[in-house]
Structure 1
Amino acid sequence: MGCGEFLVKYILFFANLFFALAGIALIGLGVAVELQVSEVTEIFEDSQIFQLTPIGAIVVGCIVFIVAFFGCCGAIRESNCMLVTYAIFMIVLMILKITLATLIFVKQDELLNDIPRWLTEGFSRDPVAFQSIERSFKCCGPMGPASYLSLTLPESCCASTPCTVVNAYSGCNTIVQDFFQTFGLAIGVVAIIVVAIELIAVVFGLCLANHARNKSRRTHY
């Protein structure tokens, strides 16, 4: 094997190791957000984007990890079939991640602006059920303690008891908005970085596949 093929082989191997770690990162982000928002799914029932984005991140992360593992094996074994299959899957994944990142960046502002309305409606419907959101996000009422129109607040509004306006958390509107904005930005940035590196990996994978095919042909002569 020449120096060029050697470098391509191991660059591709370590690139896929990075993809595997990025896949784990996407899974972790998706799981963390899914656990965090499991208490507020009824509030966001009008938005499929909020409900499906964490699940989408988990699914894409799992696929990225599996394909990256496949790419590592193909690079080490220099298998033309595995490398071509890997390149095809990577292109499909690139399209999926570009779609996910675009959806997040395009729809994020619109969805963030709708959060106060959803939270206010949920609080008006059932203030007791709203306490699960307060415990999950460590916040108090949509607009803060004043939302309860009382000096005595539920324990979910504070870190310690007795719970009053003095030691209450801030309003849920801002805290929940900041949470989803941070999550969306993290997912979008990770997806874009991975796509950029995947493009290089696809080129390297196809080059290595071509080298493996030519090597196989030479062995038959």
Structure 2
Amino acid sequence: FLGIAFLGIGLWAWNEKGVLSNISSITDLGGFDPVWLFLVVGGVMFILGFAGCIGALRENTFLLKFFSVFLGIIFFLELTAGVLAFVFKDWIKDQLYFFINNNIRAYRDDIDLQNLIDFTQEYWQCCGAFGADDWNLNIYFNCTDSNASRERCGVPFSCCTKAPA
């Protein structure tokens, strides 16, 4: 059922592409479209789930072997991804920091991106990638004398900064 849910979300997002393509251009994902992730993951989950269920119900050895082999391949790929993530953890941290800061720069440019950042900061109780100083990258929140914004030297409401005692 989860495979169908992922496919449904992917197809819905594909249908709403005019809205979601703006987010992809702002966040600069390097050509990666999150819609494809939902479609591929949903398709693979649905096919494997279908093969496993029908293979078990009909006692079809071909479908059960197909299910087992691809489940083994997925396990091996997950194990490989985990090892690579451990080996390249500094590079991954740098890329994540770069990605978050690009989104902070574009915070007021897209309402959907703004809502996503606000939700993320509230849920994880964080402020920026490493702290509130990251918001100096945004033209509305930076603390320069030339900034005439009323949000100057501030952070969005979603930042969980502690109030002074």
Structure 1 length as normaliser, TM-score? 0.40
Mark the runs of 5 or more structure 1 residues left unpaired by the alignment.
Answer: 1-19, 154-163, 175-221
Partner of 1:112: 96
Task: Give the CA deviation at 1:134.
Answer: 2.7
Which runs of 5 or more residues in structure 2 are unaligned?
A: 122-133, 161-165
Distance 1:118 1:167, change over 3 A: closer
SS at match of 1:131: coil
Q: Do the aligned residues in 1 keep the contact of 2:135 with 2:155 (CA within 8 Å)? A: no
Mapping 1:136-175, distance limit 5 Å: 136-138=116-118, 142-143=135-136, 145-147=140-142, 149-152=147-150, 169-170=157-158
Q: Which secondary structure does the structure 2 equivalent of 1:115 belong to? A: helix
Report the secondary structure of 1:90's partner residue.
helix
Q: 1:92 to 1:116 in 2, by over 3 A?
A: closer
Map of 2:23 onto structure 1 = 40
Tell whether the 8 Å contact from 1:151 to 1:165 is kept in structure 2 after alignment: no
Shift of 1:74: 0.8
Counterparts in 2 of 1:50-199, with a 5 A limit? 51=32, 55-99=36-80, 106=89, 108-119=92-103, 123=105, 130-132=108-110, 133-134=113-114, 136-138=116-118, 142-143=135-136, 145-147=140-142, 149-152=147-150, 169-170=157-158
Higher relative contact order (CA 8 A, sep 6+): 1
CA contact (8 A) 2:4 2:46 kept: yes
Q: Could you give the per-residue CA deviations for residues 195-215 of structure 1, whole angstroms, max 9, x where no partner exists?
A: xxxxxxxxxxxxxxxxxxxxx
Which deviations, in whole Å up to 9, do the C-alpha atoms of 1:13-56 show, x marking residues without a partner?
xxxxxxx53x45766887899989744322443645xx356633
User: CA contact under 8 A between 2:27 and 2:102: conserved in structure 1?
Assistant: yes
Distance in 1, Cα, partners of 2:10 & 2:70: 21
Aligned to 2:130: none
Note if contact 2:141-2:155 (Cα within 8 Å) is conserved in structure 1: no
Shift of 1:118: 2.6
Compute the displacement of 1:101 (Å).
Answer: 5.4
Q: Which has the higher helix share?
A: 1
Is the 2:55–2:63 contact (alpha carbons within 8 Å) kept by the matching residues of 1? yes
Identity, in percent, stands at: 21
Q: Give, in angstroms, the shift of residue 76 of structure 1.
A: 1.2
SS at match of 1:169: coil
Q: Root-mean-square deviation (CA), in Å? A: 4.8
**Contact 1:75-1:83 within 8 A present in 2 as well:** yes
Q: How many residues align?
A: 134
Greater Rg, structure 1 or structure 2?
1
